[in-house]
Amino acid sequence: MQTITPCIWFDDQAEAAAEFYVSVVPNSRILRTLRPPGPDGSPGAVIGVDFVLDGVAMQGINGGPMFPLSPAFSLVVSAPTQPEIDDLWEKLLADGGEPSQCGWLTDKFGLSWQVIPPLLLDYLADPDPVRAGRVMQAMLTMTKIEIPALQAAYDGS
């Protein structure tokens, strides 16, 4: 059972962001939307959303503009194949996202993501510093991670 749940602070876009994220990440769903009633008993504004991204419980809250999102917090997505990386990259950048470097991007809501293949971390942890160094240098030239280029760097070709 998960006992720690990341909570993402949005200005007023928690519901739209959660709906977007569950449409992009497989095995995801909205659990509930928190919309306390107004003084007259009618549904009030959304204050939060509980959702699951591929088995990980998350929360989004509408807290106002005081604390904007930054790359200091990001979600890391493990994408083992190039088609999976390409698909996630395209979807997360849709409608106003911004690519960064080394597999990082910021989506249209301002949340930072790292879309990386598991082999990248394996290669960077290789006990051979020359191999790991070649992979690091290759990664530093990339925006979206390209597995064939990582493999070539790892192999020294």
Q: Are the C-beta atoms of 136 and 123 separated by less than 8 Å?
A: no
Whether residue 1 is predicted with pLDDT greater than 80 in this model: the reply is no
Cα–Cα distance, 80 to 1 (Å, whole number): 25
- For the chain, the average pLDDT equals 96
User: Are 76 and 151 found together in one domain?
Assistant: yes
Residue count of the chain = 157
Provide the domain limits for residue 138. 69-157
Cα–Cα distances in angstroms (integers) from residue 109 to residues 19, 39, 121, 125, 150, in the given order: 12, 30, 27, 33, 30
> What is the structure's pLDDT at 64?
95
User: Are 74 and 34 found together in one domain?
Assistant: no
Cα–Cα distance, 106 to 93 (Å, whole number): 7
User: Are 120 and 155 found together in one domain?
Assistant: yes
pLDDT in tens, 4-34: 999 999 999 999 999 999 999 999 999 999 9
Confidence of residue 119 (pLDDT cuts 50, 70, 90): very high
What pTM did the predictor assign?
A: 0.93
CA dihedral 116, 122, 128, 130 (to 10 degrees): -10
Confidence of residue 106 (pLDDT cuts 50, 70, 90): very high
CATH of the domain at 120: 3.10.180.10
Q: Are the C-beta atoms of 156 and 131 separated by less than 8 Å?
A: yes
Confidence of residue 38 (pLDDT cuts 50, 70, 90): confident
> What is the structure's pLDDT at 110?
97
User: Are 56 and 111 found together in one domain?
Assistant: no
> What is the structure's pLDDT at 39?
83
Burial class, 115, CB count within 10 angstroms (exposed 0-12 / middle 13-18 / buried 19+) = buried
